[in-house]
Amino acid sequence: MPPFLVTLFLLHSCFLQANGHLREGMTLLKTEFALRLYQSVAACRNETNFVISPAGVSLPLEILQFGAEGSTGQQLADALGYTVHDQRVKD
């Protein structure tokens, strides 16, 4: 695994385990995203086996949100179902 991906994974793990437990609001948001992602992939790829990591998709999109504005920021928010500035993410 490239060092960059390892770093992203570790940062993501630390973010989720803040204060020693999973944050319920963020967990719910990520679960909803994962379900939508799996449903979209399943609808498109029904003839072959396919492996996808929701965390591998959501984390880069979350990072992009910090610099995105306007329609790009809105498209990222629509894809994720939340923004990094959402109160449920901050709690």
- pLDDT, residue 19, reads 52
Q: What percent of the chain is helix, strand and coil (3-state, nearest 5)?
A: 70, 0, 30
- pLDDT, residue 58, reads 92
* Residue carrying structure tokens 């967990």: 27
Closest CA to 66 of 89, 84, 48, 82: 84
CA atoms of 71 and 37, how far apart (whole Å): 21
Within 8 A by CB and 6+ apart from 5, the residues are 56
pTM, full prediction = 0.65
Range of the domain at 44: 3-90
- CATH number of the domain enclosing 77: 3.30.497.10
* Residue carrying structure tokens 């319920």: 24
- pLDDT, residue 71, reads 94
Q: How many domains does the chain have?
A: 1
Q: Which two tokens mark 80?
A: 């994720």
pLDDT tens digit sequence for 55-75: 999 999 999 999 998 999 999
